[in-house]
Amino acid sequence: MVIDYSVRPPFKEFMIELDYQKDYKQVYRDSGDSVEWAPSSFIQFLEEEGIDLAVIKARDIETSLGKGKKIRNEACASLVKQYPDRLIGMAGADPLKGKEAVEELEHSIKDLGLKGVNLWPFEYNRYPHDRIYYPIYEKCLELNAIVNIETSIHFRRSVRMDLCRPLFLDYVAVDFPDLKLVGSTPGWPWVEELMGVAWRHPNVYVSIGYVRPKYLGNPRSGYETLIQFGNSLLQDKIIFASGWPRLPMKQGVEEVRQLPLKEEVKDKWLHHNAAILFGLI
């Protein structure tokens, strides 16, 4: 069984046009934008790619990036409701909206059945340990929901690079030791730092989305610590994510299986760890 922690459904309501997307397209040269399919075709595609469960995420960045820059929680929940055995949904929440964001998040988790919240600090231009996020963290802790926080280098060049630095996830973990946190993803030049945060805190997981797994095992790639500790001390913390359509799903799974990892660890990365995180086992 394979769980993909980061998949963007190929539907208009899951696509946001952003000025800095061109910078990402320069980085991910081999990827293309998906075309819109029927929902049943998308589920069939997941099956063909060998993905048993896919995690889809809403997003709310309206305050910082403009009206309409939002993947609605209702759209995410509606798709999950159609295919509850194939999809898991996470909410979007704009911390700059204050109480409104917390109320919408509570509704999304309690009433719509979403499992957590998706936050990209560089899009809000606020570090993840900024107190503006704390009401969201508190609500997720109350509802036993997951917080996904981007912890990689990013390519929105109009704001500071270190907005997603893993060091600041450590600050959050210190203040919320019982909150389920996922650092997504281990991006150079902070791979070792993210491994350190995950090692320090039992409640911190690491998603490997948007990084081709085959490169993780290359000598002098910068990911040596991920392979070393992900195969030993942190083997229960690493979660597979393709980031599709940025990176291919099936190929990503196959490349994980080719990494210099113990066989039982490969299964943990591809399924077991995410299943525990989401309370499936």
State how far the Cα of 1 lies from the Cα of 53, in Å rounded to an integer: 8
% residues pLDDT > 90 (the chain): 81
CB 115 within 8 A of CB 109: yes
Cα→Cα distances 272→17, 26, 53, 266, Å: 34, 34, 12, 9
State how far the Cα of 106 lies from the Cα of 74, in Å rounded to an integer: 13
Query: What is the rounded (10 degree) CA torsion for 224, 229, 234, 240?
Result: 30
Domains and CATH numbers, the chain: 3-277 (3.20.20.140)
Which pLDDT tens digit goes with each residue over 179-223? 999 999 898 899 999 999 999 999 999 999 888 899 898 888 899
Closest CA to 115 of 84, 152, 69: 84
Q: How far is CA 74 from the centre of its chain?
A: 19
**pLDDT for the residue 6:** 96
How many Cβ atoms are within 10 Å of 189's Cβ, its own excluded? Answer: 10
- Residue 32: pLDDT band by 50, 70, 90 thresholds? very low
Mean local confidence (pLDDT), 260-267: 97
Mean local confidence (pLDDT), 106-116: 98
Mean local confidence (pLDDT), 37-65: 94
Mean local confidence (pLDDT), 124-142: 98
Considering the entire predicted model, what is its pTM?
Answer: 0.93
Angle at 180 between CA 174 and CA 181, to 5 degrees: 70
SS3 category, 52: coil
How many Cβ atoms are within 10 Å of 160's Cβ, its own excluded? Answer: 14
Mean local confidence (pLDDT), 150-174: 94
% residues pLDDT > 70 (the chain): 93
**pLDDT for the residue 125:** 97
Q: State the chain's mean pLDDT as an integer.
A: 92
Given a cut of 70, whether residue 24 has pLDDT beyond it is: no
**pLDDT for the residue 121:** 96
